[in-house]
Amino acid sequence: MKQSKYKGWLYLLPAIIFLGVFMVYPLIDVIVYSFEEGYNFVSQTSTGTGLYNYRYVLRDTYFVQALKNTFVLVIITVPVSTGLALLISLALSSVKPLRNLFQTVYFLPYVTNTLAVGLVFMVLFKKTEYSDGMINLLIHFFGGETVDFIDGPHWAKMLVMCIYTVWIVLPFKILILTSALASVKEDYYKAARVDGTRPSRIFFRITLPMISPMIFYLIITGFIGAFKAYSDEVALFGTDLNSAGMNTMVGYIYDMLYGNSGGYPSFASAAALILFAVVFTITCINLMVSRNNVHY
Amino acid sequence: MADTEKDLNRDIIDTPELSDVTEHAPADASENAPADAAAAAIQSTYDEIERKARRRKIIRSTLLYIFLTICALAVLFPFYWMLLTSFKTQSAYNGEAVPKFYVSEPTGANYKEAFTAVPLAGYFLNTLIYTVVTTALMMIVIVPAAFAFARMRFPGRNLVFSLFLSLMMIPSELVIITNYVTITSWNMRNTFAGLILPSITSVFYIYLLKENFEQIPEELYKAAKVDGTSDFKYLMRVMVPVAKPTIVTITILKVIECWNAYVWPRLITDDRRRYLVSNGIQEIRQSGFGRDNIPAMMATVVVVSVPLIILFLVFRNKIMEGVSRGGTKG
Amino acid sequence: MKITLDHVTKRFPNRNKKIHEDVIAVNDFTFEIPDGKLIGLLGPSGCGKSTTLNLISGLEMPSAGRIYFGDTDVTDLPAENRGVGLVFQNYALYPHLTVLDNITFPLGNLRGAEKLTKEQMRAKATEVAKLVQISELMERRPSELSGGQQQRVAIARALVKMPSVLLLDEPLSNLDARLRLQTREELARIQKETGITTIFVTHDQEEAMSISDLIVVMKDGVIHQIGKPQEVYDKPCNLFVAKFLGTPPINVFEGRVKGGKLYIGDDAVLDVKLAENEADGKDASDKKSKDGEREVWVGIRPEGFIPDENGPLSCSLQKIEVMGRDTSVVSTHPAFAGTTIRSIIPSEDTAGIGGETVRFRLKPAKVCIFDRETEKTIEFTQP
């Protein structure tokens, strides 16, 4: 009997070992790293402790650029994708024939390799010596000025990045919102219909409040996801994001760790902790706002 | 107001089927006439409302379908484009200043190129090994852990579980740095062990599975205990089969995750023989076929995308249900 | 407002896609609901009661037939233009709105000349809240209310726009037994006070009988009988209606009529003269001419038994259950169609009951005779 008292730990042991080595220890270690000055990767020695790593990172123009890019991406893609997903979900839930087909189609981007499809977007937007690319031809057709979206001005690159991000994140949001909409009981709509409620009033007074928890959930996960954007950018602009001016915060961390500019785990750690602080703060703000606005 | 009523009355007199109504009325119709007329007036406004409602409905559903179709096309267009381009010859592609929406002479050469010019088959094999081993090992680790949290009573259980939950908030970016250093110092770069080890546990999946295990009535567990069934046997013979839908869901989600893994493999491999498809694709983008051979590039993209799309079309409901319960990507 | 259903039929496509035949939820309904009454739609679940309610509210459109409110044909009119109040089985109160906001919600839909100010809405809400006695709950959320209170809020929300008809779908089924009793009286009171034609759906015959002015008994999408509760109880038109109404249920025996006497087994229990007025009269007289007797079902209400040592019906006694005012005598008889006969006897009359057998005399008014095949009532008189 006494033996079986601790048997539970036996079942947990593999999980605890793996989590300990690859999650808990790194968590402590990353904080240590971030305060170790002049850490040498090869000899694993440092010259001292202090805030130098943070100071360096915050003054690094690449980091500032990455921070700006990430914020722009977050500010644009989260509202746009959530709003668009809401529109599509509303449309989806008010039709019956072909609904399944549409749902399947809308979900496709979720199961694709972001790196792979990113290449397609690159091809669509890129200007080459042979062709201006699909999108530019469209712009030209409507009388606009063509622009190189992949190697051109910064705003154009940001635009492609936002479009691709929205395209990638939509499926998840549509899925969540359609099931949220489906979970609103039919009786509420019947009651509203019998009372002669206008569609807009039904939407703002019944549907929206009832699915507001899910919308806030999407906004929070959307913020977190957008702050961690990285591989989409690699797909569009290549691995050298710094010189393209398109780096993100996560990209900066990896570049500090690895590759041509890598070998500085201390700087990477400091940047990662800054990122974590930013995400944590924003999530807290989100939660506070949602507590005041989400009913029940 | 009086005017409109008069108009309505005139309408009524003109309408043949309404004069029928008056004929049917009993002898004292003259007495009821004003009431009848009022009723008929209401009736004709009602008819108007009905007509409007029907028309609104048609217009509404037309607009909805147009909107949905446009969105669907926007989603599908990149897929169409990669398929289309993958069948064009390089010269044809480069010759089209205005890209054509069809191929006049489809060619399979790009697919051959994709498998010969770059070691795509090798990337596939690596990804397959990585995916299968990681998923299988993860199951071995998380199933007992979830079971321990769901059913077993042991000292410190609640404390450990709270610690587990708090780990869910930790972003992978935070721990990847040290893991990189760890794996490097263990000399495991460019090995499968190095690729696989850090992604074997997932706090979130343990949590998901534990929730599911807890829904299985505890009476079953007690009955098994009374019958002298061992915990392990109970887990394998009762819990796992009953929770199969969730286990399948977790498996699918993990497979998708592994197939699309990019960041960790990129950090840990620089030997092409150990590349996964994502890294392979990136490699191809940077240098692969010579940067201009877009059709070959697209053929690679098609080859990489197809397995997951097939998996999705086969397990559509399972995947969508699983993702809405436990997926995040956004 | 008077409501008329004229040959109304509602078909649904079969859910089982292999069967192409439609499901008929409501089959050729024709009846008139008089103004200002409380009507109970009664039937076992799946009989089309709720569909009927939805048809009247306009949430569903009939496949055939017409529906009139007063003299106006509203068949194709959408729900929002019919001015009905609807109370749902689970109340469908908006969980994120307070009681006050829930009640004023329908008023907020009014536009143009009918548009009300906030104060007017509040005044109206206060008025109905007083009527259904929830004045002190106005600032609460539905989740903070008990089932009975939620029910009242739902009724208030339906009443606030002064509907022409009030429709209630299983209004009491989500309440516990004690509350149900109290709420159904409340319902009757509110209906009397407002005078609004009210239709409610229920599968509980006791509920329907106790408060309705008129009950409509349905089964499998077909109306079986319409009438005042007591009428329907005393003179059911067929075996189904007889069995469906009353607790404990009516006791059904196999019986036959021969030579002006009604037999249960070999006991001649009543002298009867059958009225030959049914449609199947010819058929029946054929049978009669063959062997001079007619096979029937005999239904006897529990209160139709009078213990009598010399009574004609002899049953073997199983047990006696004392319930206070009344006593329930449980017995068996070879010709009984179920397992045990349950009769209700006033407690003071049970003195002589005991031993192996119990003998009963019958109250003719509590006996119904049905054709063995068609199960339709056969009227009879006592010579």
- pLDDT band at residue C136 under the 50/70/90 scheme: very high
Q: Strands across the sheet with C38-42, in order?
A: C84-87, C165-169, C197-202, C38-42, C214-219, C222-227
Q: Does B167 touch chain A (CB under 8 A)?
A: yes
Residue C335 pLDDT > 50? yes
Residues 6+ apart with CB under 8 A from C142: C91, C93, C94, C95, C97, C99, C102, C150, C153
Q: Which one of A13, A105, A115 makes the best mutation probe of the B interface by having the most chain B beta carbons within 10 Å?
A: A115
Residue A103 pLDDT > 50? yes
Residue B154 pLDDT > 90? no
Residue C354 tokens, joined: 């005991």
Min Cα distance C60 → chain B (Å) is 14
Min Cα distance C79 → chain A (Å) is 5
Q: What is the total count of domains within chain C?
A: 2
User: Does residue C153 lie within any of the structural domains?
Assistant: yes
pLDDT (average), residues C201-222: 89
In chain A, the residue whose alpha carbon lies closest to the alpha carbon of B90 is A130
Distance CA B1, CA B7 (A): 10
Min Cα distance A289 → chain B (Å) is 19
Task: Give the closest residue to C246 by CA, choosing from C325, C172, C302.
Answer: C302
Asked if residue B293 lies in contact with residue B300, where contact means CB atoms within 8 angstroms, the answer is: no
- State residue B34's pLDDT score: 62
For every residue of B158-212, DSSP letters joined together read HHHHHHHHHHTTS-HHHHHHHHHHHHHHTT-TTSHHHHHGGGS--HHHHHHHHHH
Min Cα distance A294 → chain C (Å) is 9
Set of chain A residues whose Cβ sits within 8 Å of the Cβ of C84:
194
Q: What is the pLDDT of residues B176-215, one digit of tens each?
A: 888 988 898 899 889 999 999 998 988 889 988 998 898 8
Could you give the domains of chain A? 1-50 (no CATH), 60-293 (1.10.3720.10)
In chain A, the residue whose alpha carbon lies closest to the alpha carbon of C82 is A194
Asked if residue C293 lies in contact with residue C213, where contact means CB atoms within 8 angstroms, the answer is: no
Task: Give the closest residue to C347 by CA, choosing from C380, C368, C320, C369.
Answer: C320
| Residue extents of the structural domains in chain B | 2-86, 111-326
Residue A292 tokens, joined: 């005041």
Q: Which residue has the higher pLDDT, C325 or B31?
A: C325
Mapped onto helix, strand or coil, the DSSP state of residue A296 is coil
User: Does residue C243 lie within any of the structural domains?
Assistant: no
Asked if residue B153 lies in contact with residue B164, where contact means CB atoms within 8 angstroms, the answer is: no
- State residue B50's pLDDT score: 79
**CATH number of the domain residue C217 falls in:** 3.40.50.300
Q: Does A193 touch chain C (CB under 8 A)?
A: yes
- State residue B14's pLDDT score: 38
User: Does residue C85 lie within any of the structural domains?
Assistant: yes
Query: What percentage of chain C carries pLDDT values higher than 90?
Result: 25
Fold designation for B111-326 = MetI-like fold (1.10.3720)
Chains that touch B (3 or more CB pairs under 8 A): A, C
Same domain, C311 and C340: yes
CB contact under 8 A, C95 and A210: yes
Residue B20 tokens, joined: 């029928």
Give the residue from C236, C263, C278 where a domain finishes.
C236
Q: Does A138 touch chain B (CB under 8 A)?
A: no
- pLDDT band at residue B5 under the 50/70/90 scheme: very low
Distance CA B244, CA C81 (A): 50
Strand partners, B1: none
Residue C283 pLDDT > 90? no
CB contact under 8 A, B85 and A107: no
Q: Does A268 touch chain B (CB under 8 A)?
A: yes
Q: What is the pLDDT of residues C223-237, one digit of tens each?
A: 999 999 999 999 999
ipTM topping 0.85: yes
CB contact under 8 A, B39 and C78: no
CB contact under 8 A, A188 and C94: yes
Residue C125 tokens, joined: 């809400």
In chain A, the residue whose alpha carbon lies closest to the alpha carbon of B205 is A15
| Closest in B148, B185, B203 to A11, CB measured | B148
Task: Give the closest residue to A257 by CA, choosing from A267, A247, A243.
Answer: A267
Strand partners, C362: C305
Residue B126 pLDDT > 90? yes
- State residue A15's pLDDT score: 92
Q: Which one of B45, B46, B50 makes the best mutation probe of the C interface by having the most chain C beta carbons within 10 Å?
A: B46
Residue C270 pLDDT > 90? no
Min Cα distance C166 → chain A (Å) is 11
Chains that touch C (3 or more CB pairs under 8 A): A, B
Distance CA B96, CA B107 (A): 16
Q: Which residue has the higher pLDDT, B124 or C78?
A: B124
Task: Give the closest residue to B264 by CA, choosing from B170, B326, B203, B190.
Answer: B190
Amino acid (one-letter) located at C88: F
Q: Does A282 touch chain C (CB under 8 A)?
A: no
- pLDDT band at residue B144 under the 50/70/90 scheme: very high
Set of chain B residues whose Cβ sits within 8 Å of the Cβ of C78:
49-50, 53
Distance CA B243, CA B255 (A): 18
Residue C215 pLDDT > 80? yes
Min Cα distance C114 → chain A (Å) is 13
Task: Give the closest residue to C53 by CA, choosing from C161, C203, C210.
Answer: C203
User: Does residue C242 lie within any of the structural domains?
Assistant: no
- State residue B13's pLDDT score: 36
Between chain A and chain C, the number of residue pairs with CB atoms below 8 A apart is 64
Q: For chain B, percent helix, then strand, then coil, each to nearest 5?
A: 80, 0, 20
CB contact under 8 A, B43 and C73: yes
Mapped onto helix, strand or coil, the DSSP state of residue C365 is helix
The mean pLDDT value of chain B amounts to 81
Same domain, C90 and C22: yes
Distance CA C370, CA C343 (A): 20
CB contact under 8 A, B43 and C77: no
- pLDDT band at residue A83 under the 50/70/90 scheme: very high
CB contact under 8 A, B263 and A119: no
Q: What is the pLDDT of residues B161-186, one digit of tens each?
A: 988 888 887 888 888 888 988 898 89
- State residue B2's pLDDT score: 40
For every residue of B80-115, DSSP letters joined together read HHHHHHHTS-HHHHHH-SS--SS-SS--SHHHHHHH
The pTM (predicted TM-score) of the whole model is: 0.80
| Closest in C70, C72, C77 to B50, CB measured | C77
Q: For chain A, percent helix, then strand, then coil, each to nearest 5?
A: 75, 0, 20
Same domain, C265 and C179: no
* Token pair 């292999």 in the structure block, residue: C18
* Token pair 């063509």 in the structure block, residue: A146
Query: What percentage of chain A carries pLDDT values higher than 70?
Result: 94
Q: What is the pLDDT of residues B266-315, one digit of tens each?
A: 888 888 888 888 888 888 887 756 557 888 888 988 998 898 899 899 88
Task: Give the closest residue to B21 by CA, choosing from A222, C72, A274, C155.
Answer: C72
Task: Give the dihedral sign, CA A224/A229/A231/A236.
Answer: positive
Q: What is the pLDDT of residues B234-270, one digit of tens each?
A: 888 888 988 888 898 889 889 888 988 888 998 888 8
Residue C13 CA to chain centroid, in angstroms?
A: 27
Chains that touch A (3 or more CB pairs under 8 A): B, C
Set of chain B residues whose Cβ sits within 8 Å of the Cβ of C70:
39
Give the residue from C215, C236, C257 where a domain finishes.
C236
- State residue A81's pLDDT score: 95
Same domain, C120 and C258: no
Give the residue from C180, C205, C236 where a domain finishes.
C236
Is the previous residue joined to C248 through a cis bond, with omega within 30 degrees of 0?
yes
User: Does residue C241 lie within any of the structural domains?
Assistant: no
In chain C, the residue whose alpha carbon lies closest to the alpha carbon of A294 is C96
Give the helix/strand (H/E) hosting A118: helix A114-125
Task: Give the closest residue to C49 by CA, choosing from C205, C187, C169.
Answer: C169
Set of chain C residues whose Cβ sits within 8 Å of the Cβ of A190:
59, 79, 86, 88, 92
| Closest in A175, A239, A257 to B286, CB measured | A239
Residue B53 pLDDT > 90? no
- State residue B32's pLDDT score: 54
Residue B228 CA to chain centroid, in angstroms?
A: 43
Q: Does A145 touch chain C (CB under 8 A)?
A: no
Min Cα distance A45 → chain B (Å) is 13
In chain A, the residue whose alpha carbon lies closest to the alpha carbon of C141 is A296
- pLDDT band at residue A44 under the 50/70/90 scheme: low
The mean pLDDT value of chain A amounts to 86
Same domain, C153 and C273: no
Same domain, C93 and C182: yes
Mapped onto helix, strand or coil, the DSSP state of residue A14 is helix
Give the structural domain span for C313: 248-381
Q: What is the pLDDT of residues A198-256, one digit of tens each?
A: 888 999 999 999 998 889 889 988 888 888 888 888 888 888 888 888 899 999 988 88
